[in-house]
Amino acid sequence: MWVTMLVLVVGMVMGIPWLVTHYVHRLPYAPECPHCRAVTGQPPANGLVDRVCAVLAATPVRTCARCGWAGRMRWRLAQERVHRRSRQQG
């Protein structure tokens, strides 16, 4: 019985980070709509759970005014700015 519980706990501890990473990497990049390529906008303030998820996972809820798409997105670092900063520091 204890061995089974230990295996389940270890599986959950190892599996939860993988599930979160898998979920976040499947989200489309903001601010471009995945359907029509228009710029998405921030909807009005949602519930507490949405705000906490957006802050912790950096996945804000975005909506598209053109096609009506709505969902979570993730932000991508601007590569131009990253390259420019790395050249200045080095």
Tokens of 20: 């979160």
| Neighbouring-strand partners of residue 63 | 41, 70
Q: What is the pLDDT of residues 60-75, one digit of tens each?
A: 788 899 999 988 888 8
* Model pLDDT, residue 36: 92
Q: What is the pLDDT of residues 1-10, one digit of tens each?
A: 889 999 888 8
Closest by CA to 34, choosing from 59, 63, 76, is: 63
Listed as ranges, residues in the chain with pLDDT below 50 are none
* Model pLDDT, residue 67: 92
